[in-house]
């Protein structure tokens, strides 16, 4: 369900955070639990593009079967109706959720955040 192409990331290069150099890359900042930070503290990253994908399911088929698909063809997926879908951000699993209908459009609501082991 991703509408992005490879051109969207043509100007970017993946660099591990521990290899970044320059001001502001000294390491994680201590977080004061009593601080009053809000969304305006994140303004520096508001314009950073990310690719979000909601995976409804997967299916395998041969190219000959793929070429025979037509509008209205039903493709069997490996998930059942009502089963949680996977939500990826930049190809990393970050949450699970469910499909919802919002004003005649499909949407996804997150029901579980996946914590990273890193």
Write out 6-34 in H/E/C secondary structure. HHHHCCCCCCCHHHCCCCCCCCCCCCCCC
- Which domains does the chain carry? 49-118 (2.30.330.10)
Mean pLDDT of the chain: 78
Report yes or no: 105 and 82 within 8 Å, Cβ to Cβ.
no
pTM above 0.85?
Answer: no
Q: How confident is the model at residue 31 (pLDDT cuts 50, 70, 90)?
A: low
Q: What is the DSSP letter of 66?
A: H
For 70-111, how does the pLDDT look when each residue is reduced to its tens digit (9 = 90+)?
999 999 999 888 889 999 999 999 999 998 888 989 888 999
Please tell me the chain's helix, strand, coil percentages from 3-state DSSP, rounded to the nearest 5: 15, 25, 60
């Amino acid at each position: 369900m991703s509408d992005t192409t490879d051109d969207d990331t043509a100007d970017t290069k993946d660099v591990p955070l521990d290899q970044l150099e320059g001001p502001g890359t000294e390491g994680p900042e201590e977080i004061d639990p009593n601080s009053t930070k809000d969304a305006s503290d994140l303004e520096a990253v508001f314009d950073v593009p990310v690719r979000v994908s909601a995976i409804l399911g997967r299916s395998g088929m041969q190219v000959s079967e793929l070429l025979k698909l037509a509008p209205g063809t039903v493709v069997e997926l490996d998930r059942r109706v009502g089963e949680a879908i996977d939500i990826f951000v930049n190809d990393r699993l970050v949450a699970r959720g469910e499909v919802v209908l919002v004003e005649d459009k499909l949407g996804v609501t997150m029901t579980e955040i996946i914590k990273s082991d890193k």
